[in-house]
């Protein structure tokens, strides 16, 4: 009897998920069309649909007249049944958004993290999530899930991040546990670059492509990988740690020192290279933009100088692009991908970066693989967080609610 009840529950769970997926894909459906599309009996469809209507997950929106003149009730998803809070921790200007299940972003806010301490970060997250819910006028019990994207190596099953980039001083953080204690809803935790590549394949420039990588150069260097339509995380969740690609070895040193890609291609390395040359006497307009103080030269002044074709900036940006092009070339030779999406702060450097990188790859790979710039730009990680959150809501949360 227990096994039979469990089997019936699983059948209901599967059928209700199929019904919701079909209505979402087609925007609307009738009970009859669901029966035909899913090869389920009409009574089974009616029972499951009625339960979803009673819960408010789907709704009847009018009537459709068939070819024989019979009227059938149209069914649509109630995308305002509940809400999702998504969090982008990919850089110190943290973004939070609340969206419905469409997804439509209903409200968004940003705040700066100035002290990299866990207690301060969590306090700010709690305060701003509460603020987002309050200003949106949405009750807490309508919150279905929280989705958080963070730089580093992330065990998504346990919701634990070994933080990287600017958050590396935090070390290991149990984000899922901390957020669930406060809000008592499912919490999804994922690597920021994984969120970005999913966003581009679901909503952006790589939509519907099956083999895609998102390459980001910024404070760090990262790689999100989708193979055969599925996110690839690796056996220890460390796939895509492109920053640690070994690019050079100094065999003459007493101890062999390995130089990683991030030592050549990152905001820190680019700024250091420009400052070093100016300190050695090189001329550049970025020194004037920095008020004549070398230590005031930063990534923003280099972006400005590069876009204005300042020779020193162009020289170093082009070299960063060439080295990144070599790394991308090796990756393409290994994986034979459909599409490479370039993102991160370095794409703000313009054609001197993106065109040089692309030319370097095409020099080595005559098939000219598709290399494109992120369509979602600084929204990629946030939209990826939303996508991952919605998958969880439709695959688990709503179905569990329907089964009680």
245 and 359 both lie in a single domain: yes
Give me the pLDDT at residue 298, please.
Answer: 97
pLDDT of residue 202: 94
The CATH number covering residue 397 comes to 3.30.420.40
Q: Are 241 and 343 in the same domain?
A: yes
In this structure, are 231 and 246 located in the same domain? yes
Six-digit token pair at 128? 């701003």
Considering the domain architecture, whether residues 282 and 263 belong to the same structural domain is answered as: yes
List beta partners, residue 231: 226
pTM for this model (two decimals): 0.89
CB count within 10 Å of CB 395 equals: 14
User: 387 Cβ partners below 8 Å, 6+ apart?
Assistant: 103, 195, 198, 199, 202, 203
pLDDT of residue 268: 94
Is 129 among the domain residues? yes
Q: Which of 21, 56, 77 is the last residue of a domain?
A: 77
Domain boundary among 52, 77, 102: 77
- Same domain, yes or no, for 341 and 398? no
70 CB-near residues (< 8 Å, 6+ apart) = none
Same domain, 58 and 121: no
pLDDT digits (tens, 9 = 90+) for 273-308: 999 999 999 999 999 999 999 999 999 999 999 999
Residues 244 and 325 in one domain: yes
Are 95 and 160 found together in one domain? yes
Instruction: Give pLDDT < 50 ranges for the chain.
Output: 1-2, 253-254, 256
Please report whether residue 70 resides in a domain.
Answer: yes
39 in a structural domain = yes
What is the C-alpha separation between 262 and 46, in angstroms, rounded? 57
Domain at 13, CATH number: 1.10.10.10
Question: What's the pLDDT at 6?
Answer: 56
Query: Which domain-ending residue is among 60, 77, 94?
Result: 77
**Residue 89: predicted pLDDT:** 97
Cis, bond preceding 304 (omega within 30 deg of 0): no
In this predicted structure, what is the pLDDT of residue 258?
60
pLDDT of the residue at 252: 57
Report if residue 182 sits inside a domain: yes
Residues 148 and 12 in one domain: no
Angle between helix axes 31-38 and 2-26 (nearest 10 degrees) is: 110
Whether residue 207 lies inside any domain: the answer is no
Q: Which residue range(s) make up the domain with 368?
A: 212-374
Please tell me the distance from the alpha carbon of residue 194 to that of residue 19, in angstroms, as a whole number: 28
Residue 176 in domain? yes
244 and 291 share one domain = yes
Q: How many domains does the chain have?
A: 3
DSSP state of 217: E
Residues 223 and 250 both lie in one domain:
yes
Specify the length of the chain in residues: 404
**CA dist., res. 170 & res. 164, Å (int):** 9
Pair 217, 245 in one domain: yes
Say how far apart CA 2 and CA 132 lie, in whole Å: 44
- Residues facing residue 74 across a β-bridge: 62
Residue 128 lies in a domain: yes
Residue 178 lies in a domain: yes
CB 31 within 8 A of CB 49: yes
């Amino acid at each position: 009897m227990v096994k039979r009840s469990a089997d019936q529950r699983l059948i209901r769970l599967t059928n209700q998920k199929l019904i919701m997926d079909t209505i979402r894909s087609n925007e609307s459906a009738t009970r009859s069309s669901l029966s035909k599309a899913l090869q389920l009996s009409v009574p089974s469809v009616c029972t499951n649909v009625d339960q979803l209507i009673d819960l408010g997950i789907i709704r009847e929106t009018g009537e459709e007249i068939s070819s024989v003149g019979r009227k059938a009730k149209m069914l649509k998803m109630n995308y305002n049944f509940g809400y999702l809070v998504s969090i982008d921790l990919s850089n110190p200007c943290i973004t939070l958004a609340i969206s419905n299940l469409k997804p439509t972003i209903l409200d968004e806010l940003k705040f700066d993290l100035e002290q990299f301490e866990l207690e301060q970060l969590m306090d700010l997250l709690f305060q701003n999530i509460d603020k987002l819910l309050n200003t949106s006028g949405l009750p807490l019990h309508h919150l279905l899930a929280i989705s958080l994207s963070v730089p580093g190596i992330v065990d998504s099953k346990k919701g634990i991040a070994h933080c990287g980039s600017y958050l590396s001083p935090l070390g290991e953080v149990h984000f899922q546990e901390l957020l669930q204690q406060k809000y008592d809803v499912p919490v999804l935790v994922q690597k920021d670059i994984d969120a970005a590549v999913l966003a581009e394949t679901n909503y952006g420039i790589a939509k519907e492509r099956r083999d895609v990588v998102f390459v980001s150069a910024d404070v760090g260097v990262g790689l999100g990988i989708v193979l055969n339509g599925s996110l690839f995380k690796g056996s220890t969740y460390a796939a895509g740690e492109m920053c640690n690609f070994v690019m050079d070895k100094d065999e003459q040193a007493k101890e062999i020192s390995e130089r990683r890609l991030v030592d050549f291609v990152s905001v820190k390395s680019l700024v250091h290279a420009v400052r070093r040359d100016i300190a050695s006497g090189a001329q550049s307009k970025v020194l004037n933009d920095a008020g004549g103080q070398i230590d005031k030269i930063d990534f923003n002044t280099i972006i400005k100088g590069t876009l204005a074709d300042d020779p020193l900036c162009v020289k170093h940006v082009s070299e960063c692009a060439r080295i990144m092009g070599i790394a991308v070339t090796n990756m393409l030779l290994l994986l034979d991908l459909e599409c490479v999406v370039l993102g991160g702060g370095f794409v703000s450097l313009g054609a001197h970066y993106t065109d040089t990188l692309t030319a370097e790859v095409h020099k080595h790979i005559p098939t000219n693989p598709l290399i494109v710039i992120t369509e979602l730009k600084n929204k990629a990680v946030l939209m990826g967080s939303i996508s991952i959150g919605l998958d969880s809501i439709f695959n688990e949360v709503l179905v569990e609610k329907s089964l009680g």
